[in-house]
Every structure is written in structure tokens, then in C-alpha cells.
Amino acid sequence: MWSMKIKIREKWNPYNFRCQKFGVKIYFYSLNNYKKNNEVYVIGSGIVHGEEKNKKSFFSSLCKDKKIVKIERNEDFFIGVYKEPEVVAKRRGLDLAYSPSIIHLKPVIFDNEGWEEWEFASPERDLFERILSSKRIENKEIEFKIFYFKDKKIKSIMPLSIFPELTKKQNGAISLAVKEGYYNSPRKIDLVNLAKKANSSLSNYQVHLRKAEKKILPFILKQNIDE
């Protein structure tokens, strides 16, 4: 299968600039799109990661966007529909991204710098060549980086639904540990001070952190082995 991994950053997308503004990260799946009254409607779903106050600000801002038709949120998971005027360049881009011959190998990652990371595959090489030669890239309407474009065997596909589910306390414990540098080498903080920052007892914080690690580590190890 022909495979490609790219990063893009564009101003018009309602998600990526908000990730940068509010310091959150999204694991996102583009689900479908359709045309109605000379406008294109785009449906997608995602899981938002970040501090609770930042996620709250992200969703609050998103709901005020006039492009947004509907946002259905269930804690950190959401399904969103937004609309755009049917401009030829964007329509062509959507036709490529939603081509039936494309396989999305992983969720699209929206990072806190506003980049979207796409990794997909197709039996048709020319489909990717059309993406690389698109007018929006040539005219520098979007920022663009390519990591690889090659023919390779696919080892696995990672749907959004297999992401480990953490409780709020587990997510809070491990998010705090990452933010404060607990996993850095050398460590920037110990468990005692992490527990204090979490306003929790040491034993209680350790329980939630270890449960989160137990869920996440097998998943991460599997992805690293596949890659």
C-alpha cells in the first residue's frame, strides 16, 4: 500500500487554531462530509486532552463559532459538524481526504501548536501525488510538512475507539505528572510533590497514577512495536 504521513496547519479549520490558543490536543477522526445549499458540511469526532480549564475554554469557544452547526460532547469525547462555503479548492481537498480509496491508519492529531498530523494509506499512488500537487499547497495557503511517502506493508490500523479509557482522576493524575516533568530524565518532581499539587494524599495519588499507567503502557508499547 502507498502510505503517507504529513503535517498541515491552516487558518480556516475551527479546531487547530483553538488547540494552539487553549493548549489542548485532539485525537480526531474525519467521518464524512456532504453538500447542502452551496455549503459543505464536515462531520468529525475526537477526544480532547489537556487541563480541565483549557478543555472547557476550548469547547466554549468552539460553540460560539458561526461555522459550527452542532457539537455533541460527552466529557472529553465529542462529535462535531461544521460548514464551509463550497469553494473549489476546499472541495477538491475534501474529495481527496474523504476518497473511498483512502485508509486512515491513525486518528488525525491536532497538537497545541496548531498542526494537524495525518497518516494514511491507499492502493493508488496518484491519489497522494494529487495531494502533494494541490493548489493550496503550491500557493502556500496552508503550511505543510511531509514525513514520508512510500510503498510499505501496513502493520496495524488504530481506530479511535481502542484508546484506553481513563477516569477523570486517572487522567488528572497522569496529565499532571507529564506536565510537571515526572517522566523527564532526570525527573523534575517526585510523587510527594505531585500529590501536593493535586491536593491529594500520596497513597491516593499513587493509586490513580498507577491505574492510568497500567491502562496506557500496554497500548503505547504495542504502537512502538508496530512502528
Distance of CA 213 to the CA centre of its chain: 21
* Alpha helices for 65-190 (secondary structure H): 88-97, 125-132, 135-138, 168-179
Q: Dump pLDDT digits (tens) for 36-73.
A: 888 889 899 999 988 889 999 999 999 999 999 999 99
Residues with Cβ within 8 Å of 5's Cβ and at least 6 positions away in sequence, in order, are 117, 118, 119, 146, 147, 148
What is the β-pairing status of strands 68-74 and 108-110?
unpaired
Q: Is-above-0.75 flag for pTM?
A: no
CB 47 within 8 A of CB 27: yes
- Per-residue pLDDT at 221: 65
Q: Please state the domain extents for the chain.
A: 2-158, 164-226
Of residues 203 and 162, the one with the higher pLDDT is 203
Asked whether the predicted pLDDT for residue 156 surpasses 60, the reply is yes
Q: How confident is the model at residue 226 (pLDDT cuts 50, 70, 90)?
A: very low
- Per-residue pLDDT at 132: 82
Count of beta carbons in the 10 Å neighbourhood of residue 133: 9
Q: Dump pLDDT digits (tens) for 74-132.
A: 988 999 999 888 775 566 667 777 788 888 888 899 998 999 999 999 999 988 888 88
* First-last CA distance in the chain: 16
Q: Helix axis angle, 202-226 relative to 168-179, nearest 10°?
A: 80
164-226: CATH topology: Arc Repressor Mutant, subunit A (1.10.10)
